[in-house]
Amino acid sequence: MKYAFALGRHPTLSVAELVRAIPNITLESAENGICVGSCSELAPGFINKLGGTIKVIAIDKEIESLGEIDAALMRKLIPPREGRIIFGISIYGQVPGVERRRIYIEGLELKKAIKSEGRRARYVVSQDTQLSSVVIAKNKLIEEGAEFVIIKEKGRILIGHTIAIQEFEAYGERDFDRPGRSARRGMLPPKLAQMMVNIAGGDKSKTLLDPFCGSGTVLGEALLMGYTDVVGADISAEAVSDTKAYLEWIEKAHPEFHGRWRVFVSDARTINKLLPPESVGAIVAEPFLGPPQNGRETPEQLKHIMNDELVPLYRDAIAALSKLLAPRGAAVFSFPVFNRNKGPIFTPVSLVANALIPAPLVPSEYQNFGLPATSSGGALYERPDQFVGREIILLKKV
Ligand SMILES: C[S@@+](CC[C@H](N)C(=O)[O-])C[C@H]1O[C@@H](n2cnc3c(N)ncnc32)[C@H](O)[C@@H]1O
């Protein structure tokens, strides 16, 4: 089956996640926020396992020219159903305004055609060229009609229909309505935690460890993704208790997941004394990022925090963690990027990685997509309102 994945705001991370979450996928392209690939059939609920994909689109047809898109073609592509039909159209890629206008008018023709069949029809339009997940969900486009998706790439044009959208409300709940929230400590957005867990990949029956677990976001996402044994540790007893409250909340809300979990107080630099060597399949963590910043720190102050506080912590923690990681195991870290708008200060990955080897997030066969990468092969995850950016790094044990 050919699918297109509408990617979130960090396409490198989204693609890095896709190739590992769908092991049999072959990607063809990733441009204009859309990644196209072929794999065996995906259940619509699969999207809940992808933090970096907003829509999954089943590709119906490759067409020669935009002129082929008309009411008759779209009518054929609406999955068979009784009753009223609600539809909308999204366009990805560089499509001239005159063609957009014509496609919009074909939508009006489609509405007329459906009505002429004696059925009710609704055409959902928006100011934007692409309908948002909220619009698609609120108008029940997937259940009661179709969101047609037109994808104009450099070398081809595809048309398909959306089969699943990201459950934005569920992520919002896990981000904001959860126990154990701590803005002061800094928390990973659940979507990012999910992408990191996917990028670490590996066997879900092996132990996944977050040695800087904070409020437990990574561990919660790993349980929801089917990991059967997750372990968290933090130097702070308060964080450990917040994580426990969060994981109990997750367990209660999702009794269908049966993963075991353990959380305890430990300094990541000595955690190898508490767990057996090579007993962990994957490590996913956002380590301590330094004291909270207000944007007025000088580059010298920031370099001091990075080089004298964080680098020794990361280096010693990764030395301990690499002993716990099983051979061919992966560790995914979210490292801080300071001063990101005025000359970024990155974490010196090669100085902290010890025996682990930095690996590119996007596998070599897809490097030609030209997705942005950092010099360590990682990718940035940034929000405009934050002083400290994140660099997501994959390290492997050989
Ligand atoms: C950025 S927070 C992690 C947030 C977490 N990923 C979440 O989403 O809730 C970093 C955590 O590292 C913990 N920490 C700091 N130094 C540590 C150390 N040496 N060993 C273990 N944990 C440490 C802090 O207590 C804090 O909870």
Q: What is the DSSP track for 158-227?
A: EEEEEEEE--HHHHHHHHHSSTT--TTT----HHHHHHHHHHH-S-TTSEEEETT-TTSHHHHHHHHTT-
Tell me the CA–centroid distance for residue 212 and ligand 1, in Å. Answer: 4
Tell me the CA–centroid distance for residue 374 and ligand 1, in Å. Answer: 24
Give bridge partners of residue 42 from the DSSP assignment: none
Q: Which fold has domain 2-166?
A: VC0802-like (3.30.2130)
Kindly state the tokens that stand for 367.
């490097």
Q: What is the pLDDT of residue 78?
A: 93
Residues of the chain with CATH 3.40.50.150: 175-396
Torsion of CA 265, 268, 273, 279, to 10 degrees: 100
CATH class (in words) of the domain with range 175-396: alpha beta
Render pLDDT for 149-168 as a digit per residue (tens, 0 to 9). 999 999 899 999 999 999 98
Residues of the chain with CATH 3.30.2130.30: 2-166
Tell me the CA–centroid distance for residue 47 and ligand 1, in Å. Answer: 29
* Cβ(192) – ligand 1 distance below 6 Å: no
Best mutation site among 184, 234, 324, 332 for ligand 1 pocket (most ligand atoms within 8 Å of CB): 234
Helix (H, G, I), strand (E, B) or coil at 323: helix
Please return the burial class of 379, using the count of CB atoms within 10 Å of its CB with bins 0-12, 13-18 and 19+.
Answer: buried
In whole angstroms, give the CA distance from residue 373 to residue 151: 24
In whole angstroms, give the CA distance from residue 34 to residue 265: 42
Q: What is the pLDDT of residue 179?
A: 87
Helix (H, G, I), strand (E, B) or coil at 333: strand
C-beta of residue 299 within 8 angstroms of C-beta of residue 341? no
* Cβ(186) – ligand 1 distance below 6 Å: yes
**Which residue's CA is minimally distant from atom 7 of ligand 1?**
187
* Ligand 1 atom with the shortest distance to the CA of 243: 9
Helix (H, G, I), strand (E, B) or coil at 247: helix
Contacts of 244 (CB under 8 A, 6+ apart): 180, 216, 263
Residue 75: closest CA among 162, 143, 139, 145: 145
* Cβ(185) – ligand 1 distance below 6 Å: yes
Helix (H, G, I), strand (E, B) or coil at 259: coil
Helix (H) / strand (E) element for 285: namely: strand 280-285
Q: 280-285 and 207-210 as β-strands: parallel, antiparallel, unpaired?
A: parallel
Render pLDDT for 18-40 as a digit per residue (tens, 0 to 9). 999 998 999 999 999 999 999 99
Contacts of 201 (CB under 8 A, 6+ apart): 20, 282, 330
Residue 180: closest CA among 247, 135, 111: 247
Q: What is the pLDDT of residue 342?
A: 80
Q: Which is it for the CA torsion 366, 372, 378, 384, positive or negative?
A: negative
In which residue ranges of the chain is pLDDT below 50?
Answer: none
Q: What is the pLDDT of residue 53?
A: 97
In whole angstroms, give the CA distance from residue 48 to residue 168: 10
End-to-end CA distance of the chain: 34
